[in-house]
Amino acid sequence: MQVQVRYFAAAKAATGVAEETRGIGEAQTIGALLDELGDDPRAVFARCSFILNEVTTTDRDIVLRDGDRLDVLPPFAGG
């Protein structure tokens, strides 16, 4: 099973990629997926919200499904 993950702004800088396709296990959550990326981006991810298949959420316990698209969005500033 795979999900497409897109990173924006500080999340992109922390991971070093704009997007990637990641393999996931059964019952894998958003939080578990982000934990797999290691400690370096963890501080950024702690402040992020998400868009999962075009629906905004902050719930890291949502179980991902094959073919999902997850956008990782840190807080934005400016006007």
Categorize the per-residue pLDDT at 77 as very low, low, confident or very high, splitting at 50, 70 and 90: low
Q: Quickly list DSSP for 22-79.
A: EE--TT-BHHHHHHTT-STTHHHHTT-EEEETTEEE--TTPBP-TT-EEEEE------
* Domains with residue ranges and CATH for the chain: 2-73 (3.10.20.30)
How many whole angstroms separate alpha carbon 13 and alpha carbon 17? 7
Give me the residues paired with residue 77 across strands. Answer: none
Tell me the per-residue pLDDT of 8-57, one tens digit each, with 9 for 90 and over. Answer: 999 999 889 999 999 999 999 999 998 888 777 778 888 899 999 999 99
Residue type, 63: V
Asked whether the predicted pLDDT for residue 6 surpasses 90, the reply is: yes
Q: Which residue has the tokens 């990173």?
A: 7
